Amino acid sequence: MAMISSWNGNANAAMSGCHAVVLCGGAGRRMGARKEGLEFNGEPLLLRLCRSLSDIAERVTVVAERKREYEFLPGDVRVTADEVAEFGPIAGICAGMAASELPLQLVVACDYPLAGPNVWRALSETLARHPEADAVLPEAGGKLHPLCALYRGHTRSVWQDALNSGNRRVLEATATMRFVKWVPEGKDAEQLMNMNTPEDYRLAKERLRS
């Protein structure tokens, strides 16, 4: 089982052997617009997330429901498409993990606009303390957050099995893994705000300013 080293105290320190997978396959029907293009501090949310992840991950891959061009992204960020169209996050995770053989896979959906280095660091440190674990899932707001979580690379087979069997339920797939929880407190818990509606977007921008 792959091991990771803990962080050195710098919030932007690199995570050795880490590949970041950014999921932006949703059509944003409840939002009324695609989430990855929403503006935060004068830039698209997708660019904000990729820049934060590029500071700590060796490679970053963006996954959309079909191959898209995001001209605002840095050249070293790759863009790929879901393995199965309109299947949901599991298809995106499979496509993203297939893009890199690195031993750690940090999966982040565009539903989490406030997540950043403090979250990535906490996930890394938690997994480092649990070499027996396949993944670290945050638990906040009374629920698990498998789409803002750190997985070992070998869990790709679990996601692929779910895709092959037609199982769209993300939590059912993670239930077959040996995962540990990270339970954030205070401001860290706020970073796990899940954004789905225009009101969520307004609140996220308000929290970012505060």
35 marked among binding-site residues: yes
DSSP secondary structure string for all residues of 14-43 = --TTEEEEEE-----TTTTS-GGG-EETTE
How far apart (Å, rounded) are the C-alpha atoms in residues 52 and 115? 9
How far apart (Å, rounded) are the C-alpha atoms in residues 178 and 158? 11
53 marked among binding-site residues: no
How far apart (Å, rounded) are the C-alpha atoms in residues 122 and 118? 6
148 marked among binding-site residues: no
25 marked among binding-site residues: yes
Give the torsion through C-alpha atoms of 188, 137, 20, 210, to 10 deg. Answer: -20
187 marked among binding-site residues: no
* 21: nearest Cα among 123, 120, 122, 96: 96
Q: Quick one: tokens of 62?
A: 């963006």
How far apart (Å, rounded) are the C-alpha atoms in residues 180 and 46? 28
**How many Å separate Cα 147 from the centre of its chain?**
5
Say if strands 143-144 and 43-44 run parallel, antiparallel, or are unpaired.
unpaired
123 marked among binding-site residues: no
Binding site listing: 23-25, 35, 82, 111
Q: Binding site for Mg(2+): what residues are annotated? A: 111
Specify binding-site residues for GTP.
Answer: 23-25, 35, 82, 111
